[in-house]
Structure 1
């Protein structure tokens, strides 16, 4: 995985997210999917 993906995973884990919304582990996601999760997960938690 490229560096950007590793950074995104670290940022999400620091926010307390360890799984994607679909239940997959973060390290199973592409960089594009990680970008989407970074935007979407915090919004979901606020609901």
Structure 2
């Protein structure tokens, strides 16, 4: 059981880190894509 938990734990840890990075990158891309749209609207209203 201990050996299985260690092997499974390492796999879960790697998948967890990879999943967290993917979610973080996707969230950052969404934030970056949304930001210019808001900036453009503010620029249009300013002009």
Q: Which has the higher helix share?
A: 2
TM range (shorter): 0.3 to 0.5
Higher relative contact order (CA 8 A, sep 6+): 1
Greater gyration radius: 2
Scaled by the length of structure 1, what TM-score is found?
0.32
